[in-house]
Amino acid sequence: MKEQCKLLPFDFAAKSAQIDCIHFLNTGNSDAILLESCGHFAMVDGGEDTDNPRGFPALDLPGYEQRVLAYLKAHAADESGKVHLDFIVGTHAHSDHLGGFDTILADPDATVDRAYLKKYDSSRINDAENTEWDNQEVYDQTIAALRARNIPVISEMNGTPFQLGNFKITLLNTDDPAVEEKVGENDQSIGMLIEKNGTRIFLGADLEDATGDLTRLAPQIGKVDLFKLCHHGIDGNNPAFLIEALMPRICVLTSYDAQHNQESRARIKDICNAQTYLTGVEDGVLAVIGDKGEIEVFGHIHNDT
């Protein structure tokens, strides 16, 4: 049975310029997240794109780059139609996370101050991804687009917090401990902790525990109010020990496919009874972060784009 939308739409026409919120765009089973605080904007991942440079049938996927760009121009542009992003974060070199960035960066009405993106090292990646996926190509496209606009790329990060308006941002899993076995690129994922006046949000990218990243990070993250589940909510990437450490009251899944994450959602209900929302079911999710710990959640965010 298809899940029905549960969230009311947000009145963007009445939105204050001083709002603090997180826009989880509806880009199928891919991530495109817009951060907004006091008129400052940043992007975490850019959604899947239509490019398929190696021509693999399995990678012939719907692209959302134009939807992402249209959303930015509708909701992050100034009075002259210009979009300014303080930074972008590419969590890891998979096309459902980096794919849309080259389109955003090529648009003359969009500017970006800096980019956080780890160097892609194919020698660490398993043979299946190296031969059947387009990790290297999507990474190279993103780097080329950044260089074309002379945007600084920060590839080595030390976890020092920085500000975006009222948000304190901390990037996690920025170091890659040496391991003998080859891994999937999800293992390189950068997580993000967002804090405001005691309210805590964790964006889990596609983090997994193949080399112990979730085991290491779970106690470091601690309790949060909102959790963007790892890897679109896929069951194996959101184990019980992680949910027990975070104990979120709101969960967002960047997915339209409830079948792939039903065990995760059942686990969440059993452990912390958090409200769960799928971006593909709600047509995007907007989380408005108040000043005293309150979070209001809305859907239907693409109605005017």
The kind and range of the H/E element at 101 are helix 101-106
pLDDT score recorded for residue 4 = 54
Spatial distance between the Cα atoms of 4 and 241, rounded to a whole number of angstroms: 29
Rg of the chain, C-alpha, whole Å: 18
3-state secondary structure of 231: helix
Query: What's the chain's average pLDDT?
Result: 95
Average pLDDT of the segment spanning 220-238: 96
> 50 phi and psi, to 5 degrees?
-85, -10
| 47, 70 Cβ separation under 8 angstroms | no
Confidence of residue 5 (pLDDT cuts 50, 70, 90): low
pLDDT score recorded for residue 2 = 44
Kindly compute the dihedral angle of the four CA atoms of residues 280, 17, 105, 124, in this order, to the nearest 10 degrees.
-60
Predicted confidence (pLDDT) per residue in 153-203, tens digit: 999 999 999 999 999 999 999 987 777 889 999 999 999 999 999 999 999
Kindly compute the dihedral angle of the four CA atoms of residues 58, 62, 68, 71, in this order, to the nearest 10 degrees.
-160
Tokens for 300, please give them: 């239907």
Other Cβ atoms less than 10 A from the Cβ of 77: the count is 15
The kind and range of the H/E element at 84 are strand 83-85
What HEC string does 270-296 produce? HHCCCEEEEHHHHCCEEEEECCCCCEE
Torsion sign across C-alpha atoms 242, 248, 253, 254:
negative
Q: Above pLDDT 90, what percent of the chain?
A: 88
Spatial distance between the Cα atoms of 297 and 277, rounded to a whole number of angstroms: 9
Contacts of 168 (CB under 8 A, 6+ apart): 161, 162, 194, 195, 196
Give the end-to-end CA distance of the chain in Å, rounded to a whole number. Answer: 28
Q: What domains appear along the chain, each with residue ranges and CATH number?
A: 12-299 (3.60.15.10)
Spatial distance between the Cα atoms of 262 and 243, rounded to a whole number of angstroms: 15
